[in-house]
Amino acid sequence: MNTTNSLGEFTLTPHRVSDSSHMRMTYSHTAQELMARPSASLIAHRPYLRSMLWRPALILALSMSWLIIGFAFDSPVYAETGSAVPANHPTLNQAKRLIDADQAEEALTILRRFLATPPKPDLLDDTYLLLGAALHRAKQDAEALKYLRQLQTEFPDSEVSDRGKLMQARVHAAMGNLDLAMPILTGLRNLSKDDRTKREALKLSGEFYAQKKDAARAIQAWLDEVALGTDDQAEDVRARIRELAGSTSDKKALEQIRDTFPRSFPGDVASLRLIDLYITRGEEHQAIRQIQQFLVNFPIHPQAEKVSELLVTLQAKLKSNQFFIAAVLPLSGKLATFANEVLSGIQLAVEANRDKAGNASVGLIVKDLESDPASFVDDFSELLNTDRPLAVIGPLLSKNLPVMAELAERAHIPLITPTATLPNVRRLGNYMFSTALTFQLQAKRIAAYAIKDQGFRRFCILHPDTAYGRELARLFAQEVRQHEGEVIAIESYKEGETDMSAQLKRMKAEDLKKYGLSIPIDQTKLPGKLTKLDKKVLYTPGFDAIFIPGRAADAGIITSQLNFHDMKVPFLGANGWNSPDFARTADSSIDGAVFVDGFFVDSQTPTVHDFVERYKKRFQTSPTLFAMQGYDAAKLVIDTVHKGASSGEAVQEQLMAQPDLSSLAGPAAFGPDGTLNRPLFLIQIKHGRFLQVN
């Protein structure tokens, strides 16, 4: 099958004709992706008996029949130099026409009846192929595979074997099994002797790689396809490549394409897309560098003039800023989603400052921590020493802090991590700060609420056996004991575990040793017929509350089981509970439970409400905790500029000294450990909704 344009039209050339017979026709129906032969060429392994005298009449008849069922000739050219024309079978031709007309069920009826006759062996390969096509059209892909595999098993050397393999790949893809489709296409690309088949295998490979979000390999497959086609077909492939490269946001793939084709297509398309991405993300420094390289590599490109104008605009914009904040985040890779949330918060803070007349202009430099890990240390050093930002916001993970903190310390530029939960970041240097919601902050706030506000003294803890759960359990127990409270029992569970009865029995046993009460029930006085579930003992917990620092999905299961075991005490949680689905659960066992988090999107606190509304308007989505922590980091730096800071040293001094920094949630201050001590949100689950307690 030969692709002639990007709209799904295919050029068909009969596979089974004599060397002297060639016919080309195009049509737009997608069924032709399955068979690259007109109906007259379906049948194999039969002698050609018709003479040259029949040929003009046969061609005319075929032309009329294709037009009647919706096909259109595209300037057909007939090179008639031989005398033989393939025979055909009326039943198979009829089935083919029905498939082409999108009448798959009718085609299946005819083909199954034909298969039951049974047909001659030399017609079976075509029959299997048509059955696979019809079943695929009817969305009966599992059965389609059966016939397509049968074609390969019984007729491995058939002239339609490669067509069957192509269809197998399509069927696997339709069933969501791209990893099964790709080896088939690889085999066709390497082993098929027919250029049309190779070209279609390359086209499908590109499509499937694109579905797998592997833009670089998709484009390489399509570039290989160009070499096998005509000039018109090559232009269609290039249009396909331009569309993919122009729409992808995979920076690594684009950089790979750019570097592979630095001065030719599609390197230019990848470069232009990178420029667009850099500007969208606020990475104006990167955009300028990319533009300058583009103009060197493509000085006479059709877009060169517009790109030059953009360069002038960006350079003027950067020169207009008095100061800069740098955001160094993993904007590509596995953490890209979270990094871009942080970046959005930073951008909102910078834009809010820019919109206020009279404020010192503060620009934003953005660097992707993942774009080139091998050269990151050198690039970060250059950023610190050449661009001299007032502060750097990043990274996300604790493991990246030591190297960046050391370089920031040498440059006397504050480094503010918005998400890393490493305790006591100040041990990495005096220029190290954190606006992250740490485990320590959560444990302190929920323990203070329970002990000081609610008067609870005795607690049990049931936590997931994860780093998150273990650390929160340890810190909560530590806080309770520091406030002269008591932890009766601590139990753990595996995330996803549905039966907590063993843990709850052990917890109950520990409680009964100290404060719990167990009173036997006289079952003879109970009304009605007794069942196995009727309780023989009435248990009253001796503890005041239970802390469950886990995921919302697990907490709902746990609280219902606690109620079943008569542990009907207040439930306390951490920010893992902050899921709307958890609040809306039909189980009333969680009603009244309270958890802590660093951000509450429905808060009516004026500063938070204003932030949420501005964020929604700017980014068309609701902000997250990460966005809020990025916003706080940038805003605190900008606030120091308003108070006279004009260097990294001055920003560091103000951040360390001021006891009333203005965070979104309220007055805050950086503690000796470098963590921003700010108000946290206490959220209660009430009648299927989250309500702010404080």
What is the per-residue pLDDT for 584?
65
Whether the Cβ atoms of residue 491 and residue 506 lie closer than 8 Å to each other: yes
Q: How far apart are CA 662 and CA 169, in angstroms?
A: 59
Q: What's the pLDDT at 533?
A: 52
pTM of the model: 0.63
Peptide bond into 418 cis (omega under 30): no
Residue 58 has pLDDT above 70, yes or no: no
Structure tokens at 681: 């949100």
Does 523 have pLDDT greater than 90? Answer: no
202 close to 2: Cβ distance less than 8 angstroms: no
| Distances 672 to 117, 554, 632, 664 between C-alpha atoms, Å | 88, 35, 19, 21
DSSP classification of residue 460? E
Structure confidence by residue, pLDDT tens digits, 418-453: 999 998 999 999 999 999 999 999 999 999 999 999
643: number of CA atoms within 13 Å, CB side? 16
Q: What's the count of helices (H) and strands (E) in the chain, helices before strands? A: 25, 20
Q: How far apart are CA 204 and CA 159, in angstroms?
A: 20
pLDDT for 137 equals 92
Mind listing the pLDDT tens digit for each residue in 66-81? Answer: 332 332 323 222 222 2
State the Cα–Cα distance between residues 576 and 581, nearest whole angstrom: 12
The answer to whether the beta carbons of residues 48 and 86 sit under 8 Å apart is yes
Question: What is d(CA 287, CA 280) in angstroms, rounded to the nearest whole number?
Answer: 10
Cβ(40)–Cβ(86) below 8 Å: yes
List, edge to edge, every strand of the sheet that includes 681-686.
486-493, 458-464, 545-548, 571-573, 594-597, 681-686, 689-692
Q: Which of 36-50, 235-249, 487-501, 555-569 has the lowest mean pLDDT?
A: 36-50
Query: What residues contact 170, with CB distance under 8 A and at least 6 apart?
Result: 33, 34, 136, 181, 204
Supply 520's token pair.
Answer: 């036997």
Weakest-pLDDT range from 112-116, 318-322, 329-333, 426-430: 318-322
Give the Cβ contact number of residue 536 at 10 Å.
9
Residues across the chain:
694
pLDDT higher at 611 or 322: 611
- DSSP line for 169-231: HHHHHHTT-HHHHHHHHHHHHHH-S-HHHHHHHHHHHHHHHHHTT-HHHHHHHHHHHHTTS-H
Q: Read off the tokens for 232.
A: 């018109």
b/e burial code for range 508-520 (CB count within 10 A of at least 16 → b): bebbbeeebeeee
What are 455-489's pLDDT values in tens digits? 999 999 999 999 999 999 999 999 999 999 999 99
CA–CA dist 432, 404 (Å, integer): 9
The CA R_g of the chain, rounded to the nearest whole Å, is 35
Highest mean pLDDT among 518-522, 547-551, 590-594: 547-551
Per the prediction, the chain carries an average pLDDT of 83
H or E segment to which residue 595 belongs: strand 594-597
- Of the two residues 661 and 63, the one the predictor is more confident about is 661
Rounded Cα distance, 552 and 562, in Å: 15
Cα–Cα distance between 682 and 694 in angstroms, integer?
6
CB 584, CB 688: distance < 8 Å? yes
Please report which confidence band the pLDDT of residue 621 belongs to, taking 50, 70 and 90 as the band edges: very high
- For residues 648 and 431, the answer to whether their CB atoms sit within 8 Å is yes
Residue type, 502: A
Q: Which alpha helices (H) appear in 12-120, and where do they start and end?
A: 55-68, 90-100, 104-115
pLDDT, tens digit (0-9, with 9 covering 90-100), for 43-57: 333 333 333 333 333
Mean pLDDT calculated for residue range 660-668: 94
Q: How far apart are CA 144 and CA 167, in angstroms?
A: 9
**DSSP H helices in 565-647:** 580-583, 606-619, 625-642
pLDDT greater than 50 at residue 22: no
